[in-house]
Structures are given as structure tokens and as C-alpha cells.
Amino acid sequence: MADSVQKRILGQCRNALLGGVPILYIKTDSHILIQKLLLDETSPLVVLLSNGGRKGTEEQRELKYMRPIYELENPQDRQLRYCLNYRNSLPEMDSGGLYRELYASPRDMANERMTGPFLWSVNMPDDPQELKRIYRGLEQYVTAHEDENHPQYPVLQRSVVILYSSQVFLSPMLRTYTEFIDVGYPDEEEIRELIKSESGGDRNLIENEEYLSALCTDFLGFTTEEIVMTMQRIMAASSLQRSDEAEGIIREHKRQKMQGGILEQCDPEGNIGGMNQFRAWLMKQVKPLKYSASYMRKNGTPPPKGVLLCGIPGCGKSEAAKFTAQILNLPLLKMDIGSLMDKYQGVSEQRMRDALKMAEAMAPCVLWIDELEKGFSGAGSNGDSSSFKRMFGYLLGWMQDNQKPCFIFATANDIGGLPKEFFRSGRFDGLYAVYLPTAAECVSIFKSCMERIEKNMARARHCRREEAVIFSPSCYEDNMLRRLVNDTLVLPDKSPRMIIGSDIQKAVNLAMGRLFNETRINGEAWDRALRQVIGSGDFSTFGDGEENRDSIAVSYCRMLRKGFIPTSDHVLFRKEDYHVEFAEEYERLKRMSTVSMSDEELKQHKERLRQFEILQDSGRQFADPYDASVYHFLRNRINQMAALLERRERELLLR
């Protein structure tokens, strides 16, 4: 362990001991770390006791250990009878997964000259029955520790129990008497010290500042023990002379470390079609995020906190997260809210805290919180989802207070159930809406899908991208792809087949299947294959289902209402298309029964409806038939949903 890491943790332990804290809880699973803390050669927490004057050399002296506190012969005995065992070396894990603890004999403890402290250390299990036994023993110990009339009160005041586990298993009563010590992750300076100490004085590393800095960055998010073990693998596998080998070993260790963990490291390779407005905003954030320290010194403001992308599923939010990490040249960490949940109380919240601490340790990074609504919908309501509420509260506090360059990329398909606290100023630097792609954006998405195919082929063939080109330049022509969209996605009755990015990817994949044997595809063959796929009876789009059409309209309503910025500069619907002031009246007129109306009343009723429809129709002109079809199809549906939405939002505000 690096001296600086060990000194930091030892200092925290000593401060707690001097304050008379009866229990220390060190958040780690490493029994090696606990051994080093207890038996630190330069400044140990525990004075090793001899065998009490028995004959033998210094090396033969026995150390005395005490069994875990809950294994006392009589747990109800307030005299705390001490059961001593004698061992010649540091103990191994016993069958119960606990240490036999270093302690003094009763005679030593009665000696007022002993300065202590005396310690037990217990590796906390996750078995509920084992925890109950430990709780009983600890509660007995705490009671005696605070009782001035206890026969061994002076000794107990110099004693402490050290508990350790990465997860906090402790009853509310015991938390009152506990000091929590977070081991955390080593920072860059501590990592640098560890690398140098484990490199065996390799001058190739020590004198190469650029290489050393790169290794420090790669090791961010590793614990001290993981860095030591990985460095040992690197030294055994080759040497530090091959930077690519060293970085490969680190990446593989990081991949294994994060498998099934609380965070997942994703490949940041992504490409997005359209989203020009979001791209432009993102490019302005590159320097503040990559050079956060100098940005703070120069401007006096922290780097951007993050962005929230909401919108229809399958429209490129996940690709946008990968694209963001790629542009920023930062690691992409994905947090799955569902994987953090646990049946035991308090564990879910602890996992949330651990995930955010890991993200801080790996900063600068992009933290991708995917599908927020699955984890936090209803967290702001009066329901009984207490774990979700606590996790939500901790996340909000961290987003507000975090000073590390962790750029949050949050996505949501439906913002209806998200608490309003998410949208307050200071949480995110940008709130962006992902709408249905326009015809021009569909063309861009087609091109991105084709480029991805060629990249995948180059990777599979282990060749350069230029050697894996299968599409001729004519396949990328805007006019051809634009005609394809307008011809195949507008039905004879002028209604649209509303398509999303994942539909386009599916169409491209199916078209490639039809041209499987082709080594070079020209524009005519590509156009024909795509038309056959999209026009076939077994090809469906997201907008073909009636329920999905309603969900599209509702999504538009919510994002227009909250003033989300469109990711694209090609927008079918604007804030002016959301007629809040007329929505309820229009909906009332639509529902009104006309059976008992006279001819004159019916005429007036139709005229009023027509006036509303004229008002809603801005007379906008579109260059592409597909865009016009989508606009006219969704316009009235959006305003019909708006009436219901406004009524519901007012009811929620008045609760």
C-alpha cells in the first residue's frame, strides 16, 4: 500500500480513537488492508504483546487473539469474560469468515500504564442470522463502554471494535456509536506513488512522464489492492517497456472488475444522424470538461454538470451517449438503476453511493444514467417506495454538489413520472428533446447506419475502413435517399408511417441480407433493396401501432410544455404549435353531443370547431411530403392530449 494512502486512513482511524468512539466501520472488503492498518510497521494502531515473560526468542513470542465478541461463553454476562487463544502468527480467516482478533490479556488491560487502544476486528457477513448475533454482542459491548460503573470501564474506554465491509450492515442503534471511515479510491498522486513502488525502479517508466501520466489515468477507479495486483501482472507478463501491453492488461482487468458490478464501462464508439443543434452545444463543452482545472482557474466556474435527453424510444439517445464520450475522449460509465436495487434495507442506497464514488474516482468521465423513468418515476410522489426516494434524494444532492468532472448523460423515454426536481436549474446544463426524425434526418440516419456497417466489416476483417467499402458513392446520394423516404413512408391516404432510428437500422440490416453475395453495391440496387424491405408486409415501424401514436403525441406535449430544446434544427413542431390556452375548449367542443342541436346550432358548432382548426394550422409549408404528413397527422392529436395533460398537471400541483 502506498505510504500516503495508508497514512490517510490511519490518520482518520486515530482521530476517531482519540475521540473515544467505541466502533469504527471501515468501508472495505480487503482483509489485507485491515492487517496493514492494525500492524503498520512505522505507526501501528495496536501494540503487539509478548507472551507475558515466557522463555523464548523475540521471534518465538506468541501473539494473543480474542474470538469475535458475539462468541462469548455467556452473551448476557456483563463482566465480558474474555476468552483468549494463542497463535504464533497472524490469523487466517476462520470458518465463519471472521478474524480471531488481536487483544490484551485481562492482566494487561487492568494495567493503567497500558495506553491502548485494544481492538477487535470483524469482517461483517451478509447473512441475516450472523448479523443478529454480531448485533447482540456489539450492543452489549456499547452498553458496557458507556457505563461508568462498569468494573472494566477504564479498559473499555481504551478499546474499540473495528468492523469492515464495503457494504454497511449495521442497526440504527449501533450507528449512533460508530465512526464510518471511507477508504475510497486513490487519487492520481497516490496512484503515481503506487506505480513507482511496484515498478521496481524501472527507469523507462519513472523518466517517461507522459507514459506515467497515461497509466495513472488508466488506473483511476481501481482500489489500492487492484492497482498492486495489476502492476504485478504487468511486470510478470512483459515489462513496462511496452505501453500497449500494459494498457491492454489494465483494460482487461477493468472490464472484469466492472462485469456484474454497479457500473458498466461501455465502448464509446457511436455516431448520430441529425441532432445538429445538440452537436453544436456539445462541441462547446469539450474544453471545459477535458481541462476542468484550468477552466476553473480561468473562469471561476465549474465544468458543465451534464445533459438530459428525453424523447421517443429508438431515436438515438443511446448512440448520442456513446457519441458524447467519443467526442470528449472520456470513458463512458453506464449506471443501470435496476441493478442497484436490493431486497435488504439500506443496501440499494449504499450501492448508489458506491457507484457515484467510483464515477468520481474515474473522473474525468461520462456517467450515463439510462432510462431514468424506470428507476425514479414516482419518487417524488407520496407512495411508499422509500428506497427509490432515498436514492433519488442522494443522486440529486450529488448532482448539485459534485465538483469532480463527471459529465452526466441522462436519458428518459417518458418524463411524465419524473419528479419536477430533476428539471430545476443547476441539475443539468441542457434539457434536450429527441423528436421523430424529419425526412432530412432520416437521410442522415441512413448514412450513419451504412457507415457503421462498413466499420463493422473492417473490424471483422482486421483491415482499414477504406479496404472494407461496400457501398458505392451513389448509395449515399441525398436525392435518392430522400425520394425513398417520401415514397415509402407516406401512404396513399396521405397518412404517414412514422419511423424512428431503430426502424431505419432494421431496414438497412434486412436490405443487406437481400444483397448478401454482393461485394460492391451500387445506388440502384441499394434503392431497390430498401424499397422492397420497407414495402413488405412484415416490416413494421414504431408509428404503425395506435398506442405508439398516442405515446408520440403525449411525449411531444410534455417536452413542448417543459420547454425542452430540440436536438435538431429541423423541427416539425414548435412551442407555437402547443395551444395550451385553446386545448381544453377545443376538446370540450369535440366531445359535445350534436344529436339534439338544431340546424343553426350545428352550423355554429362546426364553425367554432373550424376556427380552432384554422388557428391551430399555422399554414406551414414543408419541402418533403413525409414531413407534411407527420405534421398534419400529429397536430390535432397533440392538442387533444394537451387538454388532458394540462388538467392532470394542475391536479398534481394542487395536491
Cite the DSSP H helix spans in 362-495. Answer: 372-376, 386-401, 439-461, 478-488
* pLDDT given at position 80: 30
Which among 278, 368, 370, 301 is positioned nearest to 330, based on CA atoms? 368
Which of these three, 229, 259, 289, is where a domain ends? 259
**Within-domain flag for 551:** no
* pLDDT given at position 163: 82
Would the pLDDT of 174 be above 80?
yes
* pLDDT given at position 643: 67
Task: Report the relative pairing of strands 332-335 and 264-266 from DSSP bridges.
Answer: antiparallel
Confidence of residue 221 (pLDDT cuts 50, 70, 90): confident
Contact 392, 380 (CB under 8 A): yes
* pLDDT given at position 42: 61
**Within-domain flag for 307:** yes
Task: State whether 30 and 172 are in the same domain.
Answer: yes
Confidence of residue 115 (pLDDT cuts 50, 70, 90): very low
When comparing pLDDT for 324 and 20, which is higher?
A: 324
Would the pLDDT of 650 be above 50?
yes
Cis ω on the peptide bond leading into residue 125 (within 30° of 0)? no
Of the segments 177-191, 318-332, 472-486, which one has the largest average pLDDT value?
472-486
Task: State whether 621 and 597 are in the same domain.
Answer: yes
**Worst-scoring range by mean pLDDT, 237-241, 447-451, 519-523?**
237-241
CA distances from 287 to 239, 283, 291, 294, 407 (A): 34, 8, 6, 10, 13
**Within-domain flag for 224:** yes
Task: State whether 65 and 206 are in the same domain.
Answer: no
Task: Report the relative pairing of strands 306-311 and 332-335 from DSSP bridges.
Answer: unpaired
Q: pLDDT tens, 369-404?
A: 988 887 676 555 544 456 777 888 888 888 888 877
Which of these three, 235, 259, 283, is where a domain ends? 259
Q: pLDDT tens, 432-471?
A: 999 899 999 999 999 999 998 998 888 888 888 777 788 9
**Within-domain flag for 561:** no
d(CA 572, CA 89): 75
Q: pLDDT tens, 87-106?
A: 322 233 233 333 333 333 43
Task: State whether 278 and 409 are in the same domain.
Answer: yes
Handedness of CA 306, 310, 313, 317 (dihedral sign): negative
Would the pLDDT of 481 be above 90?
yes
* pLDDT given at position 101: 35
Task: State whether 80 and 108 are in the same domain.
Answer: yes
Helix/strand/coil for 48: coil
**Within-domain flag for 479:** yes
Give the alpha-carbon dihedral of 440, 443, 444, 448, to 10 degrees. 170
**Within-domain flag for 523:** yes
Task: State whether 483 and 511 are in the same domain.
Answer: yes
**Within-domain flag for 207:** yes
d(CA 168, CA 176): 14
* pLDDT given at position 484: 96
Would the pLDDT of 2 be above 60?
no
Other C-beta atoms lying within 10 Å of the C-beta of residue 401: 7
Would the pLDDT of 510 be above 60?
yes
Task: State whether 216 and 343 are in the same domain.
Answer: no
Summarize the confidence of residues 26-35 as an average pLDDT.
78
**Worst-scoring range by mean pLDDT, 243-257, 301-315, 353-367, 554-568?**
243-257
Task: State whether 273 and 337 are in the same domain.
Answer: yes
Task: State whether 448 and 429 are in the same domain.
Answer: no
Compute the half-sphere exposure of residue 7: CA atoms within 13 Å on the CB side of its CA.
5
Confidence of residue 53 (pLDDT cuts 50, 70, 90): very low
**Within-domain flag for 65:** yes
Range of the domain at 313: 265-434
Q: pLDDT tens, 194-204?
A: 888 777 766 66
Which of these three, 434, 462, 483, is where a domain ends? 434
Summarize the confidence of residues 338-348 as an average pLDDT.
72
Task: State whether 444 and 579 are in the same domain.
Answer: no
Given 3-state DSSP classes, what are the helix, strand and coil percentages for the chain, each rounded to the nearest 5? 55, 10, 35
Task: State whether 13 and 95 are in the same domain.
Answer: yes
Task: State whether 211 and 328 are in the same domain.
Answer: no
When computed from its CA atoms, the radius of gyration of the chain, rounded to whole angstroms, is 33
Which among 336, 320, 341 is positioned nearest to 388, based on CA atoms? 341
Into how many domains does the chain fold? Answer: 5
Confidence of residue 583 (pLDDT cuts 50, 70, 90): low
What CATH number has the domain bearing residue 364? 3.40.50.300
Would the pLDDT of 258 be above 70?
no
* pLDDT given at position 109: 41
Other C-beta atoms lying within 10 Å of the C-beta of residue 299: 10
Would the pLDDT of 235 be above 90?
no
